[in-house]
Copies of this chain bind each other. A is one copy, B any other.
Amino acid sequence: MSSAPAPRKLVILAEGSFGPHSGKTAYGVIRYGRDEVIAVLDSTKAGQNVAAYLPDQDIPILATLDEALALAARPDALLLGIAPAGGRLPSSWRAVILAAIAAGLDVLSGLHTFIGDDPEFAAPAAARGTSIIDYRRPPEDLQITSGRRHGAGKRIILTVATDCAIGKMSVALELRRAAEAAGDRAVFVATGQTGMMIEGWGVAVDRLVSDFAQGTIEGLVEQGEGLGDWVIVEGQGSLDHPAYSSVTLALIHGATPDAMVMVHKPGLEEHDFDRLPGTSFPIASLSPFIALHEQIAGLVAPSQVVAVALNTSLIADESEARRVISEIAAETGLPADDPFRFGPDRMWSVIRERVDALPWVADR
């Protein structure tokens, strides 16, 4: 999809999963989305408020859809706030979706299993006149990379990382916010379902047919260049991930970013990926991993890692977090900061300067 719809009033279905660890979609949409979230459904936390998890927010957590429908600010869409590995729909949620459709709500989903292709949902939605939006549905045209160069005056930045789900999307959104605050024409290019729910356009690249992933991403970045000068592309996965590294490489070689921002979570030892007993995949060592990214990207187009964005959420003490940030800056020789904890403005200003100095950007 390629145009932002009008803002909605959302109920987020997050049954049994709302919280910092499993609620990546719900958290992202609440923190960064342009739609208004009027309720979260999670019977295991009913009676609480989202404010307990995300200060600055005031959103009730309810047990049932009926309670949400009774609110003064009546919802107009149900958003499925979960993204399990494999993307399959928990069967217990089907009744809630059907009830939402019956109440005239649109259904927004980022699951791999398309809600709109399920006759049990498609038929009542058609009858009721509501929409089902499957954000992971890929574009129909099959695009092969053309090898295009970026436009004059455009700078492309991609977030990469040492693991999944440690903040590539949020860093991109924070940097976009800081760029706009600094008066730069910046655009966030969503490459995953949550980013698309937030931004209203983009492509879920993990759903693309492999042969067309790099070409579709190339076209997506071109679209971003039409909307701003600083094109900040949301990364996916990590280059060393046993399941998702090829999606990461598709972004590196498809977007051909001028610069990359490495997202890292100090204190995390292993990939959160233990599907078989006895297997474990350690988090890469930062400096050689950064060098490897530049080497791999350079196989197609030159690119440099210009900063390290740290997610210090595992370090409670603020001065200890600052110490770790300094340590990593010294170790990598790169500017480092935690843009969530300490604000993204300083980091943006450093990134901006470093990107403009890159020879392949300066010459464009």
Chain A residues within 8 Å of B, Cβ to Cβ = 85-88, 112, 142, 144-149, 205-211, 213-215, 239-247, 249-250, 253-254, 273-276, 279, 281, 284, 292, 295-296, 299-300
Contacts and interface: CB of A to CB of B under 8 A. Distances in A.
Given A86-B144, A112-B142, A112-B209, 9 more contacts: A87-B142, A145-B275, A209-B209, A210-B247, A214-B244, A214-B245, A239-B296, A240-B299, A245-B250
Contact of A292 (B144, B247, B275, B296): B296
Given A145-B275, A276-B148, A210 B246 contact: yes
Contacts of A145: 242-243, 275
A115 to B, nearest CB: 15
Contact of A246 (B112, B147, B253): B253
A131 to B, nearest CB: 24
Given A211-B206, A296-B292, A246 B250 contact: yes
**Secondary structure type dominating chain A contacts:** loop
Given A210-B210, A249-B249, A296-B296, A273 B243 contact: no
Contacts of A273: 147
A88 to B, nearest CB: 8
Contacts of A246: 210, 213-214, 246-247, 249-250, 253-254
A243 B275 contact: no
A46 B296 CA distance: 46
B276 A300 contact: no
Contacts of A85: 144
Contacts of A241: 253, 300
Contacts of A86: 142, 144
B253 A245 contact: yes
Contacts of A244: 211, 214
Contacts of A210: 205-210, 213, 246-247, 250
A253 B273 CA distance: 14
Nearest to A209: B207
20 contacts: A87-B211, A112-B142, A112-B211, A147-B273, A147-B274, A148-B276, A206-B211, A207-B211, A210-B250, A211-B244, A211-B247, A214-B243, A214-B245, A241-B300, A245-B249, A245-B299, A246-B250, A281-B300, A284-B299, A292-B295
Closest 10 CB pairs of A and B: A240-B299, A246-B250, A145-B243, A206-B211, A147-B279, A246-B246, A246-B249, A146-B275, A249-B249, A210-B247
A92 to B, nearest CB: 20
Nearest to A292: B295
A241 B299 CA distance: 8
Contacts of A242: 145, 147, 214, 253, 300
B239 A215 contact: no
